[in-house]
């Protein structure tokens, strides 16, 4: 299977490279290259700023008659990105930089000014020491004095630091460990205090919330229990009233009246006072053998029961008994 990208080409056996015709190029032929702008410049035609790193196509040529220590200098032609004006620059191997020739000006770069100033002072000193030995001795003496002053200041700073740094590394680590332990202990104490502050239902400090309905029910039970002396004194627990509705409206009144009558009877030593709301009726049974003798005990029973009742019931029973006697006669 043939290769998709051919890397090796076929040369016939009778191939002779000397027979190939050579194209003669001009001495200063320009070559198209793509490069990036090595510095920030400003176009003199439109005032557009072209920043460092801008890519563009340029034409490169050799600068005839200009070299630096045998190094060839090149010139580049490129166009402004806004007005398409032609700009030129060339290499500067002496300073390892580029120089703008025409069409634009280089922006101010403060680090370049500092470097140029330092280079100027260095060249000036070299030129002075070249023909004067005393000047070079003076310069070396100044340099040694400056170095000694720097070393003395450095030693003073070290001694000052050693005086202030009384804490060793081990002591510092121990202090940090103590601080972390104290912090953990404080957090544990706060957690324990929070847990103790929480009151659970099964604890002794738990206070049950009393609702309004419970208070009303307890008041009703207290009112009802006031009528039962034995129940209120003997049982410490309060009994809740029965929530079952009565069958009739008069049943509740009858029950209350009976309870009151029982209370009064117990308090007076067993003599029961009849309730005025209870009506007692006596039914007479007919006796065939001795109607007169049977009527007498019935009359006595009626009189005894009416003696304990109220005045109205007693008169009613007496009148009923008198009627019975008249009929028997």
Looking at the DSSP bridge assignments, the partners of residue 32 are: 59
Q: Please check if 317 is assigned to a binding site.
A: no
Q: Please check if 43 is assigned to a binding site.
A: yes
Helix axes 311-328, 291-307, angle to 10 degrees: 170
The DSSP-derived string for 236-297 is -SPPPPP-SPPSSHHHHHHHHHHHHHHHHHHHTTS-PPPPTT-----PPPP-SS-HHHHHHH
Q: Please check if 80 is assigned to a binding site.
A: yes
Rg from Cα positions in the chain:
66
With vertex at residue 151, the alpha carbon angle to CA 145 and CA 156, rounded to the nearest 5 degrees, is: 125
- C-alpha 238/C-alpha 35 separation (Å) is 105
**Tokens encoding 136:** 């070079």
Cβ partners under 8 Å of residue 135, min gap 6: 128, 129
| 320 three-state secondary structure | helix
Long-range contacts of 286-292 (CB under 8 A, 24+ apart): 291/328, 292/328
CA distances from 106 to 52, 79, 283 (A): 11, 15, 142
Q: Which residues are annotated as a binding site for Zn(2+)?
A: 43, 46, 80, 83
Q: Which residues are annotated as a binding site?
A: 43, 46, 80, 83
């Amino acid at each position: 299977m043939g290769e998709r990208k051919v890397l090796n080409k076929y040369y016939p056996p009778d191939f002779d490279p000397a027979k190939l015709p050579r194209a003669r190029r001009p001495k200063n032929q320009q070559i198209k290259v793509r490069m990036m702008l090595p510095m920030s410049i400003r176009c003199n035609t439109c005032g557009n700023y072209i920043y460092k790193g801008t890519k563009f196509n340029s034409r490169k040529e050799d600068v005839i008659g200009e070299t630096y220590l045998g190094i060839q200098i090149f010139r580049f032609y490129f166009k402004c990105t806004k007005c398409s004006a032609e700009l030129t620059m060339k290499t500067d191997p002496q300073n390892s930089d580029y120089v703008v020739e025409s069409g634009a000006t280089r922006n101010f770069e403060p680090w370049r000014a500092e470097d140029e100033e330092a280079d100027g002072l260095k060249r000036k000193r070299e030129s002075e020491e070249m023909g004067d030995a005393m000047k070079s001795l003076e310069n070396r003496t100044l340099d040694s004095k400056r170095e000694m002053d720097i070393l003395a200041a450095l030693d003073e700073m070290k001694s000052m630091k050693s005086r202030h740094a009384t804490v060793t590394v081990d002591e510092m680590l121990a202090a940090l460990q103590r601080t972390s332990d104290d912090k953990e202990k404080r957090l544990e104490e706060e957690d324990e205090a929070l847990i103790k502050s929480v009151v659970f239902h099964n604890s002794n400090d738990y206070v049950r919330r009393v609702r309004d309905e419970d208070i009303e029910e307890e008041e009703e039970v207290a009112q009802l229990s006031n009528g039962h002396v034995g129940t209120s004194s003997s049982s410490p627990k309060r009994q809740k009233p029965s929530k079952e509705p009565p069958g009739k409206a008069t049943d509740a009144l009858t029950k209350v009246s009976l309870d009151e009558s029982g209370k009064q009877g117990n308090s007076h030593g067993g003599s029961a006072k009849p309730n005025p709301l209870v009506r007692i009726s006596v039914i007479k049974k007919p006796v065939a053998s001795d109607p007169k003798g049977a009527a007498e005990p019935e009359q006595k029973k009626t009189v005894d029961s009416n003696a304990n009742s109220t005045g109205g019931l007693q008169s009613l029973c007496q009148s009923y008994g008198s009627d019975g006697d008249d009929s028997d006669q």
